[in-house]
């Protein structure tokens, strides 16, 4: 035999060999009479026997006499093919025996030694068969016993001593846990029994239950109403979501249009900024050009000490600083050209005079009415605005034409100043011109000293520059 738990070879206890037939019958009978309400997980090793088979067995035992000897009968594995009466006998093999009559026990006398020898051989063979059948029956009985034990418990038998101790220890722990659970259930049952409500409490609880049921019904009705409202709200939400989607589409379309408008606006603003920058640049350039007077650059009037200058040409002379007449003539030519330019810019025509700027040999034509009525052409007298040299003897006669030309220049300057003052009364010449005098100095050279004439020339340049500054 092997332990059914650890699969180790084991030796069975000797008490299993000495078990009485009554004890074995008790075990097998108890196994066959298990209640129908046995647990499902506990299965019997072999099916229970019919009652008629046991009745037949008991009747045969009751009618049988005392046997001379007994032998065990080995149960066949094919028990289903054995008749019912024989199967009952095989089921309880420890109590099975055969009753022999005296005729069966004592063989009939037969002549000859050969008959006696054959009878002895048959008896010896029968004894050997009986011993083998007894051992086989003993093994089968133990197996049957272990099957019954295995069927009635959840443990497969046989098991060794060590496994038995382990199982006992496990069952002991389970017993302790079951005992604790039982005690806990007993305590809980006591508490429950102690807390059994009285009739008044039960009535109050029933009243509370009815109230709660009424509240539950009201809450259920309210819940149904809320469900209806929820359905309406969900429908409204769905409608609002559709409206929101439509608004989202419109918003997207609006933003697309706005972005396109912003692009166009940015392009327009860029163009506007470009135009404004160009306008600002042109305005500054125009202002700069307006402030820039080309005549000031062309006719640069200034002073060099006591002398007035035009384009660095000194106009006048002093005893200690004799200026060459070539420079003086060139300065007068530049001054006459500037006066003619201002008059042309203002579209002004001099009365009785015609300017001829010719550099160092500039002239002024004096126009006088004709002497006779038959002539229509005016009388022209050419005045030379330059001098050839300085000779002390006859100075008055040498500079007579030059003085007349300078006086004519002052007259032209006076006429142009009056024209400008008529256009803007706030404009007044810094020095007043009366005939041959400008300020307090005479422009004539014949009856004047060099310093007075030089001062008159300087005043003349100042007045010409004043007119140039106020000419726009």
Question: pLDDT digit string (tens) for 387-442?
Answer: 876 555 344 455 688 889 999 999 999 999 999 999 888 888 899 999 889 988 89
Question: pLDDT digit string (tens) for 123-163?
Answer: 666 666 666 666 677 778 777 777 877 777 777 778 888 88
pLDDT above 90 covers a percentage of the chain that reads: 36
Question: pLDDT digit string (tens) for 331-346?
Answer: 999 999 999 999 999 9
Measure the CA–CA gap between 90 and 140, rounded to whole angstroms.
11
pLDDT number for residue 290? 78
- Domain locations along the chain: 14-159, 200-272, 296-469
pLDDT (average), residues 63-91:
42
Is residue 27's pLDDT more than 90? no
Tokens standing for residue 300: 């640069």
pLDDT number for residue 334? 94
Question: pLDDT digit string (tens) for 169-219?
Answer: 988 999 999 999 999 999 998 888 887 778 888 889 899 999 999 999 999
Residues 440, 441, 443, 446: is their CA dihedral positive or negative? positive
**Average pLDDT, rounded, for the chain:** 78
pLDDT number for residue 310? 92
Reported as type and span, the H/E element at residue 308 is strand 307-310
Measure the CA–CA gap between 16 and 132, rounded to whole angstroms.
18
Reported as type and span, the H/E element at residue 191 is helix 161-194
Q: Which CATH superfamily is domain 296-469 in?
A: Autophagy protein 6/Beclin 1 (1.10.418.40)
């Amino acid at each position: 035999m092997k332990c059914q738990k650890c699969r180790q070879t084991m030796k069975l206890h000797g008490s299993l060999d000495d078990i009485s037939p009554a004890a074995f019958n008790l075990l097998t009978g108890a196994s066959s009479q298990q209640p129908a309400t046995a647990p499902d997980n506990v299965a019997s090793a072999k099916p229970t026997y019919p009652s008629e088979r046991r009745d037949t067995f008991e009747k045969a035992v009751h009618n049988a006499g005392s046997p001379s000897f007994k032998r065990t009968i080995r149960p066949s594995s094919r028990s289903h093919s054995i008749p019912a009466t024989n199967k009952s006998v095989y089921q309880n093999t420890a109590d099975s025996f055969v009753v022999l009559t005296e005729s069966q026990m004592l063989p009939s006398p037969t002549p000859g030694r050969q008959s006696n020898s054959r009878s002895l051989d048959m008896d010896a063979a029968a004894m050997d068969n009986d011993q083998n059948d007894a051992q086989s029956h003993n093994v089968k009985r133990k197996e049957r016993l272990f099957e019954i034990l295995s069927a009635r418990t959840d443990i497969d038998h046989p098991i060794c001593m060590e496994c038995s101790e382990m199982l006992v220890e496990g069952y002991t722990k389970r017993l302790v846990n079951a005992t604790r659970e039982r005690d806990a259930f007993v305590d809980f049952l006591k508490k429950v029994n102690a807390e059994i409500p009285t009739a008044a409490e039960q009535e109050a609880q029933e009243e509370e239950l009815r109230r709660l049921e009424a509240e539950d019904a009201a809450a259920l009705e309210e819940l149904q109403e809320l469900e209806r409202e929820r359905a309406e709200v969900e429908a409204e939400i769905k409608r609002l979501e559709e409206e929101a989607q439509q608004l989202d589409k419109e918003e997207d379309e609006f933003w697309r249009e706005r972005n396109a408008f912003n692009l166009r606006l940015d392009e327009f603003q860029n163009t506007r900024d470009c135009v404004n920058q160009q306008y600002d640049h042109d305005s500054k350039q125009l202002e700069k050009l307006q402030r820039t007077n080309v005549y000031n650059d062309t006719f640069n009037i200034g002073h060099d000490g006591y002398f007035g200058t035009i384009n660095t040409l000194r106009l006048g002379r002093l005893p200690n600083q004799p200026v060459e007449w070539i420079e003086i003539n060139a300065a007068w030519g530049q001054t006459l050209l500037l006066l003619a330019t201002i008059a042309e810019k203002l579209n002004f025509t001099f009365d009785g005079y015609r300017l001829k700027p010719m550099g160092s040999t500039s002239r002024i034509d004096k126009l006088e009415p004709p002497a006779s009525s038959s002539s229509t052409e005016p009388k022209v007298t050419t005045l030379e605005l330059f001098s050839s040299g300085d000779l002390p003897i006859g100075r008055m006669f040498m500079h007579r034409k030059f003085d007349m030309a300078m006086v004519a220049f002052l007259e032209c300057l006076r006429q142009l100043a009056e024209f400008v003052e008529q256009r803007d009364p706030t404009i007044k010449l810094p020095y007043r011109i009366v005939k041959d005098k400008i300020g307090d100095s005479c422009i004539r050279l014949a009856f004047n000293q060099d310093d007075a004439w030089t001062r008159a020339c300087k005043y003349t340049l100042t007045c010409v520059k004043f007119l140039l500054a106020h000419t726009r």
